[in-house]
Amino acid sequence: MARRRLDPATRREKILDAAVAYFAEVGFDGPTRDLAARAGVTQALLYRYFPSKQALVEAVFERVYLGRLDPRWLVEVRDRSLPIETRLSRFYGAYTRAIFTYEWMRIFMWAGLSGDALNRRYLEHVGDSLLAPLAEEIGAADGRRRPGPEDMWNLHGSIVYLGIRRFIYRLPTPDDVGPVIEGAIGRFLAGFRHGA
Amino acid sequence: MARRRLDPATRREKILDAAVAYFAEVGFDGPTRDLAARAGVTQALLYRYFPSKQALVEAVFERVYLGRLDPRWLVEVRDRSLPIETRLSRFYGAYTRAIFTYEWMRIFMWAGLSGDALNRRYLEHVGDSLLAPLAEEIGAADGRRRPGPEDMWNLHGSIVYLGIRRFIYRLPTPDDVGPVIEGAIGRFLAGFRHGA
DNA sequence: CCCCTTGGTGTTCATTTGATCAACAAGAAG
DNA sequence: CTTCTTGTTGATCAAATGAACACCAAGGGG
C-alpha cells in the first residue's frame, strides 16, 4: 500500500472528512473497513485516531452540528426597520444555506431515526430560540395576533421539507430554492393576516 | 422453548407484524436474532418463511405500502359542491390518518435514506396523482391562478413535517392533528388568494 | 392408539465487523 | 549516511450475523 506520512492533525481531518461523507451516505451502521477505503487508509489506522467507532461517530456529529447556526441571524430578524417579509426571507435564506447540505441533512436524519439525543436538543433549540423570536416578530408586525408554536413549525416544515425531498429522498427539486422559500413565507404571512 | 404449532399463514403474519414493528424501530440493519426474539420464535424459523433477510424486508415493504392510499379520496376531492377548504381538510385528514403511524413514517424514512426505489416511486405518485389534482381543484376554486407543483409540495411538506417531528424525531406534538392541519390548509388557501 | 406429516428447534458454518498489536518504513535529526 | 521517532500497515482475534441442516415433537388422519 502507498504509505505516505501525514502529520496527525491533517490525517485526522482527512479521516473526519471521509467519515462525514461516508456516514451521510450509508448511515452509522456502515462498516469501518469501507470508510477506511474511502479515506485511503487502512482500517487499523482509524483506531489510532479514534478510540472506537462510537468516538468517531461523535466526532462526526461535532463536526456537522457545531457552528452551523449564526447568532447574528436573530439580530437581523429583530431589526424592525425592515418589513417582516424581508426579515423572514433573509433568515430562512441563511438558515437553508447552512443546513441544505447532503451531509447535514442526511446525518441529521440518520441520527434522528436512531434516536440520538443531539437531535432533540437541536430541535428544541430551534423551537425555543429561533421559531419563538420569529413568532414574536410576526406578531409585532401584525399588531393583533401572534402565531402559535404549531403555526411556526408549520412554516418551518414547509421549508425544511424541500431539503428532505432533495437530500433524503433524492428527488428533483428546483436549483434555486430562493423563490420557493419566499413563496412559502409570503403565503404564510398573507394567510396569517387574512384568516387562520 | 415453548413449541406451539401454528398454521403457516398465521405464523407468517405474526412474523411480519413483528418485523414491521422491529424494522420501524431500529432500521433494516437490525439483526434477525433480535427480530426473532420479538416474534417469540427462533431465528432459524424466519428462514422457513422467508428465503432471506432481504425477502423479509421486501415483505415488510409490501405490507406497509400496499393499500394505504384510497382512490376514493380523489373522488371526494373533485366534488365541487363542497368548498375547497372542506375538501382539502378531508383529504389531508384521511391521508394523515393513513400514514401518521409509527411504523409507516419510520419505515418510509429508513427506506428513503437507504435509497430504496419504492420511496421515489411512491413520492412521484404523490406528486403526479395526488398533488396535481389537488392543485387543479384549488385553481378551479380560485378561478384565476393555479398553484404550481412546488407550491403544492410546500403545503404537503408543512403537513407531513408534523408526522416527522412526532415519529422520526419523537418530539411532543399536539394529540389532535386536525386543527393544525386545518390551520395549514386555511393559511395556504388564504395566502394563495391574497398574494403569492 | 399409532403413525406420519411438517412446524419448530438447537447447532453449526462461513463471513463480516469492531478492535488489537507487533512489525515496518517515511522522513526529520544528527 | 546513520539513527531514531512514530505514522502506517498486515495479520489476527473475538464477537456478531445471515444462513443452512439434521433432528425433534405437535397434533391431525387412519
Q: Does B191 touch chain A (CB under 8 A)?
A: yes
pLDDT above 70 covers what percent of chain A?
98
Instruction: Note the pLDDT of residue B195.
Output: 76
Residue A196 has pLDDT above 70, yes or no: no
Instruction: Find the mean pLDDT for residues B88-99.
Output: 98
CB contact under 8 A, B174 and A150: yes
Instruction: Note the pLDDT of residue A77.
Output: 98
Residue B3 has pLDDT above 80, yes or no: no
Instruction: Find the mean pLDDT for residues B97-121.
Output: 97
Nearest to B154 among A29, A151, A158 (CB): A158
Nucleotide nearest B41, CA–C1', reads: C8
User: What cell was used for A22?
Assistant: 461516508
Helix (H, G, I), strand (E, B) or coil at A152: helix
Average pLDDT value over all residues in chain A: 97
* Residue whose cell numbers read 407484524: B17
CA distances in angstroms from B168 to A92, A114, A120, B97, listed in the order given:
23, 9, 10, 16
Q: Does B177 touch chain A (CB under 8 A)?
A: no
Instruction: Find the mean pLDDT for residues B104-132.
Output: 97
CA distance A166 to B185: 23
Quick one: how far is CA A63 from the chain centroid? 12
Instruction: Find the mean pLDDT for residues B168-176.
Output: 98
**Å between CA of A95 and C1' of D7:** 40
CA distance A106 to A124: 19
Instruction: Note the pLDDT of residue A4.
Output: 84
In chain B, residues with a C-beta closer than 8 Å to the C-beta of A109 are: 109, 113, 168
Residue B2 has pLDDT above 70, yes or no: no
* Residue whose cell numbers read 388564504: B190
Q: Do A20 and A103 contact (CB within 8 A), yes or no?
A: yes
- What residue in B sits closest to A106 (Cα-Cα)? B113
Q: For B20-79, how does the pLDDT look when each residue is reduced to its tens digit (9 = 90+)?
A: 999 999 999 999 999 999 999 999 999 999 999 999 999 999 999 999 999 999 999 999
Instruction: Find the mean pLDDT for residues B97-117.
Output: 98
- What residue in B sits closest to A183 (Cα-Cα)? B196
Label residue A3 by pLDDT band (50, 70, 90).
Answer: confident
Residue B196 has pLDDT above 80, yes or no: no
Q: Do B161 and A160 contact (CB within 8 A), yes or no?
A: yes
B25-63 exposure pattern, b = at least 16 Cβ within 10 A, e = fewer: bbbbebebeebbebbebeeeebeebbeebeebbebbbeb
CA distance B109 to B113: 6
Instruction: Note the pLDDT of residue B107.
Output: 98
Q: For B139-151, how does the pLDDT look when each residue is reduced to its tens digit (9 = 90+)?
A: 999 999 999 999 9
Q: Does A110 touch chain B (CB under 8 A)?
A: yes
Backbone angles phi, psi at B97, to 5 degrees: -60, -30
Beta-carbon neighbour count of residue A20 at 10 Å? 21
Instruction: Note the pLDDT of residue B1.
Output: 58
Instruction: Find the mean pLDDT for residues A21-34.
Output: 98
Contacting B residues, span 44-103, partner chain A, CB-CB under 8 Å:
none
Question: CB within 8 A of B191, min separation 6: which ones?
Answer: A186, A187, A188, A189, A190, A191, A192, A194
CA distance B180 to B172: 14
* Residue whose cell numbers read 430551534: A126
CB contact under 8 A, A109 and B113: yes
> Alpha helix locations (H) across B40-177?
43-49, 53-65, 72-77, 84-99, 102-114, 117-125, 132-142, 149-163
Q: Do B62 and B55 contact (CB within 8 A), yes or no?
A: no
Q: For A112-146, how does the pLDDT look when each residue is reduced to its tens digit (9 = 90+)?
A: 999 999 999 999 999 999 999 999 999 999 999 99
Instruction: Note the pLDDT of residue A193.
Output: 94
Label residue A195 by pLDDT band (50, 70, 90).
Answer: confident
- B5 phi-psi bin (left φ>0, alpha ψ -120 to 50, beta other): beta
Label residue A159 by pLDDT band (50, 70, 90).
Answer: very high
In chain A, residues with a C-beta closer than 8 Å to the C-beta of B29 are: 27, 29
CA distance A157 to B163: 10
Nearest to A123 by CA among B110, B173, B176: B173
Average pLDDT value over all residues in chain B: 96
**Å between CA of A51 and C1' of C28:** 28
Q: Does B193 touch chain A (CB under 8 A)?
A: yes
Element (H, E) at B73: helix B72-77
CA torsion angle for B66, B69, B72, B75 (degrees, to 10)? -140
Element (H, E) at A8: helix A8-26
Q: Do B15 and B41 contact (CB within 8 A), yes or no?
A: yes
User: What cell was used for A118?
Assistant: 443531539
Instruction: Note the pLDDT of residue B4.
Output: 82
